[in-house]
Amino acid sequence: MSDSFFSRSGALHRRTFLRVAGASAATASLVLAGCSDPAPAPIAANPNLLTLTDGDVGLLNYLYLVKQVQVAFYQKVIGALPGDFSDAEKLSFNDLRDHELVHRETLRFLLGTNAYDVLLQQPLPLDFSSLNLATRAGVLTAAQQLEDLSVAAYAGSLRLLAAVPTAALLAKIASTEARHAAFVRDLRTPGSFAGTDVVVNAGALQSVSLAKTPTQVIDETKAFFLPIVISPILLPTV
């Protein structure tokens, strides 16, 4: 199922995307007063493009978006866990969902009015039709994919943050995600908690977690967000 936000609700608030994707003309002219740089070119109005801003705000919005995927995934599967999930596994999946909710609400609080979805009337409808969620194996495969991706996302973005307290807070989330990933991997294949596909297995960085840049992570999650396209081009890279 691929619900388009637009076909369903009519309109994503245009203001929301201006907020994320651009400043008002007034802001630009205020800041640029006295500056010889040419005025920025107007942004082409692509209502499906969500361009993350520069700096910590952009990075936090990026991690907040990844978190939306995780929450929506667990909300979806917990409502209909395949019958071969044991009672113990169901309890654990409730925990995973609850933790992701905690993370999402914490990031939302941290972002305040800078959250990309402040003016959204409803959350982005995430499309999980690419995942097979009808079997235990399918659910565990998908959960592992998302948890490992989340670990790699934190591994590759904490160094890009400027504010020390923000980095400290996100590190608290990063290791919880690693616990999740190890647990889900062990559910799927006992003993695969730190497999060589997620931990570097050669060279100087052997046994260090694999990191992915925001661009890589957004590329791997893009199918979930369609028709919305997320652009990381303004995010810090060093």
Q: Which SS3 state, helix, strand or coil, does residue 75 take?
A: helix
Shortest distance in whole angstroms from residue 206 CB to other proteins: 5
Secondary structure (DSSP) of 7-48: HHHS---HHHHHHHH---HHHHHHHHTT--SPPPPPPP--TT
Q: Taking CB under 8 A as the rule, does residue 132 contact other proteins?
A: no
**Torsion angle (degrees, nearest 10) of CA 225, 103, 106, 233:** -40
Alpha carbon separation from 124 to 1, 35, 113, 190 (Å, rounded): 14, 38, 17, 35
Q: Taking CB under 8 A as the rule, does residue 208 contact other proteins?
A: yes
Q: Taking CB under 8 A as the rule, does residue 130 contact other proteins?
A: no
Q: For 118, which DSSP code?
A: T
Q: Taking CB under 8 A as the rule, does residue 165 contact other proteins?
A: yes
Nearest CB to other proteins, comparing residues 10 and 42:
42
Nearest CB to other proteins, comparing residues 200 and 223:
200
Q: Which two tokens stand for residue 108?
A: 């939302």
Nearest CB to other proteins, comparing residues 10 and 35:
35
Q: Taking CB under 8 A as the rule, does residue 83 contact other proteins?
A: no
Stretch that binds other proteins, among 4-12, 82-90, 125-133, 218-226 (CB under 8 A): 82-90
Q: Give bridge partners of residue 78 from the DSSP assignment.
A: none
Contact yes or no for 220/149 (Cβ under 8 A): yes
Shortest distance in whole angstroms from residue 58 CB to other proteins: 9
Q: What residues between 2 and 31 interact with other proteins by CB under 8 A?
A: 19-28, 31
Binding mask 27-66 for other proteins (x = CB under 8 A): xx--xxxxx-x--xx-x-------x-xxxxx---------
Nearest CB to other proteins, comparing residues 1 and 33:
33
Q: For 160, which DSSP code?
A: G
Nearest CB to other proteins, comparing residues 1 and 238:
238
